[in-house]
Homo-oligomer: A and B are copies of this chain.
């Protein structure tokens, strides 16, 4: 099959780029609840809202602008983003299949007077640019919310476009 042949010929380009950047994809975090980390529909993958888990724990909790600095929160947004990419890879098998990042929605648990949510979510946006180049260009919403699950400072989900459609059956893979 042409698709399979193309897959065989793929270099692990994005994997190599991640290594160049000194980054590695984490194991996919088990969802906190009854859902899966990512679902494909046609040529798109929607990830679940990702918390900045590192080795299964939140390294930092609290509100940005109070207990958490914007700089630290931007690092955590990058961690959320890596977790989201790991969820995409676990579902589709190879991040080289991502032809474009479409949308990032970033929620920042914010102290009452903190209004620099875009700077926080830049931690994710810049990572996507570094990893995917032009294909990492995305639309984005960044909002400040009262409180996030487990008192996480940031939560973020991704919508990405694939080179070709995936059957819905692919959904079962990450939870099986």
Give the B-binding residues of A (Cβ under 8 A).
Answer: 31-39, 41-44, 46-49, 99-100, 102-105, 107, 109-110, 112-119, 121-122, 125-126, 129, 134-135, 137-151, 155, 157, 159, 161, 168, 171-172, 175
Contacts and interface: CB of A to CB of B under 8 A. Distances in A.
Contact of A46 (B102, B125, B135, B146): B102
A41 B44 contact: yes
A151 B115 contact: yes
Contacts of A49: 140-143
A122 B71 CA distance: 32
A9 B86 CA distance: 41
A126 B35 CA distance: 9
> How many copies altogether?
3
Given A32-B118, A115-B149, A138-B35, A46 B103 contact: yes
Residue of A37, A126, A147 with most partner-chain B CB within 10 A: A147
A110 to B, nearest CB: 5
B137 A172 contact: yes
A56 B60 CA distance: 35
Given A33-B125, A33-B142, A147-B144, A134 B46 contact: no
Contact of A41 (B32, B37, B102, B140): B102
Nearest to A100: B168
A170 B33 CA distance: 34
Given A34-B126, A100-B171, A161-B168, 19 more contacts: A35-B137, A39-B103, A39-B138, A41-B43, A41-B100, A41-B102, A42-B43, A48-B139, A100-B168, A107-B141, A109-B144, A110-B147, A115-B149, A117-B147, A117-B148, A118-B149, A143-B145, A144-B145, A144-B148
